[in-house]
Amino acid sequence: MDLNKEEIIEKLNSGEIRLHEIEKITEDANIATDIRRQFIEEKTNTELKHIGSYSIDMTDAAKKNIENQIGTIQVPVGVVGPVLINSEDGETLEGYVPMATTEGALLASVNRGCSVIRRSNGCSISIINNQMTRAPVLKCKNVHEANKLKTWIEENFINIKEVAESTTNHGKLIKIDPVAIVGHFVYPRFVYETGDSMGMNMVTIATQEAINYIEKENDLHVIALSSNFCVDKKPAALNMIEGRGKSIIAEVTVPKEVVEKILKTTPEAVVEVNYAKNLVGSAIAGSYGYNAHFANMVAAVFLACGQDPAHVVEGSIGITTAENVDGDLYFSVTIPDLPVATVGGGTRLETATESLNIMNVKGSGNVCKFASFVASIVLAGELSLVGALAAGHLARAHQQLGR
């Protein structure tokens, strides 16, 4: 069908063409984007000149990242740092980290935390777990059959692993655990290593193949490939305990004089605020996040670096600890559930590539390094905010920055 822009819009208005069909006519995602945006402008009497101003190529984005695209949004991007990291393998990392946000004072606060970390000879990072999960729900005839299925899955893990891994060159099925039973429903939690990819698509395809095999060998009914026992894009105690994505800890020991000079408070005051706010305050709220604002830093780095924004809800859970150690301040953040990637997904977008390149973490072999940068920024943001609260400076900082 050889139609110009005006003819396509006319057929959109008449209902002869649907919005998602424009690419089939133009065979060019960038032209299709412009036509769709013009149609929406006319339909809603709205000017979209800023949404329509962008530099990325919609060709790949339309194939992998979005449908019915009309342009892009713009979120201010800044940098913090440099942040100094002592990794577990003995390597010292130092670099600037991009953050995209509309919250004034956030980067100023995180940057102060980075300064504290540098003056404390860096922070230490350990990645204690690295896994991605998918958990289907299977229905048996009765609870006895459900229990038999649980045993069968445990006894046939090697065969299931072989079937699952036949779908991928990078994913490795580590375990199927826990296998929960509720009534006659069975919930096996498939746990994978996924390399430098965040891996949700990878583990979904692998688990589907494994479930096909399990169903063929057993008398059961597959209710759904995802049962919410994964747990994907939701806060959950299971992910706090078992971990998902990267489970990572960042710590720093801040000399007393640095606490007093930069944070304008004392180690004792920081410890008390952390206990009363992050631990007790979170407990009485029934929160899964015993922290001040993990989500702020995770969201800002995720937006800048092409990560899945929905996984911020998982990255927001975790625990902040603070102790007085011989007069100095020991401060740590434990992030049990940080799904990140340096290949695939939104990392292929041009702006995300540039942001990842700032940290030199784009591409294969870099996901743990990237996770370490994210954790260090979470640590910096937590340290700065709790310090500001201890010093009574939070409101003043926002006032001074016109927020």
Give the catalytic positions in this structure: 103, 308, 398
CA distance 303 to 201: 20
CA distance 89 to 121: 17
Quick one: which of 166, 168, 165 has its CA closest to 176?
165
Residue 250, φ and ψ in degrees, nearest 5: -125, 135
Quick one: which of 106, 112, 79, 85 has its CA closest to 251?
85
Report long-range pairs for 274-279 (Cβ below 8 Å, ≥24 apart).
Answer: 274/320, 274/321, 274/322, 274/386, 275/322, 277/386, 277/389, 278/319, 278/320, 278/386
Whether 116 contacts 262, CB under 8 Å = yes
Residue 130 vs residues 16, 127, 358: alpha-carbon distances, Å? 49, 7, 24
**Tokens 């090697």 label which residue?**
158
Whether 250 contacts 124, CB under 8 Å = yes
How many Cα atoms sit within 13 Å of 394 on the Cβ side?
12
